[in-house]
Amino acid sequence: MAGEKTGPTAVVPFRQFVLKVHSRCNLACTYCYIYAGPDRSWRARPPTVPAATMRQTALRIAEHARTHRLREVRIDLHGGEPLLTGPGPLLAQAAAVRAALPAGCTAEFGVQTNGTLLTRDMIDTLGAAGFRLGLSLDGGTAGLNRRRIDHAGRPSWPAVSRAVRLLHDRPEVFAGILCTIDITAAPAEVYDSLRALDPPMVDFLLPHANWSSPPPAPLGPAGRTPYGDWLCTVFDLWWDGGPGPRIRVFTEILGLLLGRPSSSEAVGLSPVVALVVDTDGAIEQVDSLKSTYEGAAATGLDVFHHTFDEALAHPGMAARRSGRDGLGAQCRGCALVEVCGGGNYAHRYRADAGGFTNPSVYCADLERLIRHLAARLDATVALN
C-alpha cells in the first residue's frame, strides 16, 4: 500500500482510530470487562471528551495520515455509551477529522452503541453525516439479552428492539451486530434470532478471559471445547442455511484457509492497525487488554505530547504487531498458527507464567473451530 515500507523492517501504520467520546455507560451488563473488570482507569477520566482534545486528536490523525500517505482511515466513536453525548459532539468530531485530513485521504465513521438511546431523528442525523451504526446485542430476544440491564436492573431489550427496527429501515446506516457468546444460550436460538433481525453482519465474540481469569465454562485439556462446539453449530446453520448475514469470525477463518490475510485481532497474524484515544487524550492499546490487569492497555502517551508514530514504537504495541515472532514456542510450532495466530492477544495472558506468550485460553476451542471449517470447506470444494 502507498506510504508503507516493505521488507523485514516494514512499518504498518495505524488505520483505525477508536475515539472514546463518553467514558460512562447507561447499562450495567453483568459481563462487562470495562466497568466490572480489573482496570478502573475510567473512574479518573472525564465523562465526555473536551472539544480541545477532540481537535488535537483530529490533528494527530491527520499527521499520521500525511506521514504515511494514507488514502483512508477508519474512525470508531466509542464509550462507554457514545450516544450519551447526543449527536452534536459526534458530528463535531467527524467535522474536525475531515477538516484536518490531507487531500486524498478520506475517513469512514462508525459508532458502536447499545442502542437504547437511538431515535429515528438521531439515525437520520448521523446517517446524513456518513456514519454507520453498530449494535451490541446478545441475541434477538428479550430472554437472550437478560444480562444487558441498566443500573436499576431494568432490561434494555424494549429500547434496543425499537432501535433494531429503526435501523432495519436504514440498511445503508446499519453496520451490524456484535454478540458476545453466552455459553448457556442455545446456539441455534441465538443465531436464528439474530438472523431474523436481518443485520448485514454479525461478529460473535469470545468472552474476554485469560488463564488467570478463566472463561465462564470449563475448557480443555480433557476434550472439552464448549465454545468451539457452540461456534461449529452456528457455522453449520450459517453454511447450510442459505442467505444470511456475514459472520465475521467465519469469513475471517475461511479467508485465512484460502490464503488471504486477516483483518481482525481474533485470528491470523496480520499486524494490529488500531489504537484508542480516551476522553482525556491518553493514547492506549485496545480495550480488550483491560480484561487482564490494571494498566495493561496504558502506554503513557497522549495526543498533546506524542505522535501516533511514537505509539507505533511503544513496546506493548510492538509486541502485538510482531506476528509469529511474538508467540510462544507452542504456538509457533502449531500447524494452525497461520490461521489461529495465537488467538486474541488478551486471551493469552497468565499472571504467573509467561504473560502474553501463552497460547490462547481458548486454544482447544479455536482448533476445534478451525478444523471444522477446513473440513467443511474441503468437502464443498470436492463436490464442485
pLDDT tens-digit profile of 29-66? 999 999 999 999 999 999 999 999 999 999 999 999 99
Helix (H, G, I), strand (E, B) or coil at 374: helix
For position 222, what pLDDT does the model report? 56
Spatial separation of the C-alpha atoms in residues 331 and 363, rounded to whole Å: 9
Crossing angle for the helix pair 248-257 and 226-240, to the nearest 10 degrees: 90
For position 220, what pLDDT does the model report? 55
pLDDT tens-digit profile of 114-123? 999 999 999 9
Spatial separation of the C-alpha atoms in residues 268 and 325, rounded to whole Å: 13
- Cβ atoms of 179 and 31 within 8 Å: the answer is no
Q: Which amino acid is at 211?
A: W
106-113 and 72-78 as β-strands: parallel, antiparallel, unpaired? parallel
Q: What is the band of 9 on the pLDDT scale with cuts at 50, 70, 90?
A: very low
Spatial separation of the C-alpha atoms in residues 118 and 116, rounded to whole Å: 6
Question: Would the pLDDT of 360 be above 70?
Answer: yes
Q: Which amino acid is at 65?
A: A
Across the range 323-338, mean pLDDT stands at 93
Question: Would the pLDDT of 4 be above 50?
Answer: no
Residue 119: name the closest of 145, 146, 89, 87 by CA: 87
For position 221, what pLDDT does the model report? 59
For position 327, what pLDDT does the model report? 93
For position 381, what pLDDT does the model report? 85
Q: What is the band of 242 on the pLDDT scale with cuts at 50, 70, 90?
A: confident
Q: What is the band of 185 on the pLDDT scale with cuts at 50, 70, 90?
A: very high
pTM: 0.93
For position 217, what pLDDT does the model report? 74
For position 41, what pLDDT does the model report? 94
pLDDT tens-digit profile of 257-309? 999 988 888 999 988 889 999 999 999 999 999 999 999 999 999 999 999 99
Question: Would the pLDDT of 322 be above 90?
Answer: no
Question: Would the pLDDT of 6 be above 50?
Answer: no
Across the range 188-200, mean pLDDT stands at 97
Residue 155: name the closest of 27, 34, 31 by CA: 27
DSSP line for 19-72: EESBS--SB--TT-TTTSSS--GGGGS-SB--HHHHHHHHHHHHHHHHHTT-SE
Spatial separation of the C-alpha atoms in residues 228 and 234, rounded to whole Å: 10
pLDDT tens-digit profile of 53-99? 999 999 999 999 999 999 999 999 999 999 999 999 999 999 999 99
Across the range 219-223, mean pLDDT stands at 58
For position 10, what pLDDT does the model report? 63
**Percentage of the chain modeled with pLDDT above 70:** 96
Residue whose entry in the numeric block shows the C-alpha cell 469470525: 249
Across the range 97-122, mean pLDDT stands at 97
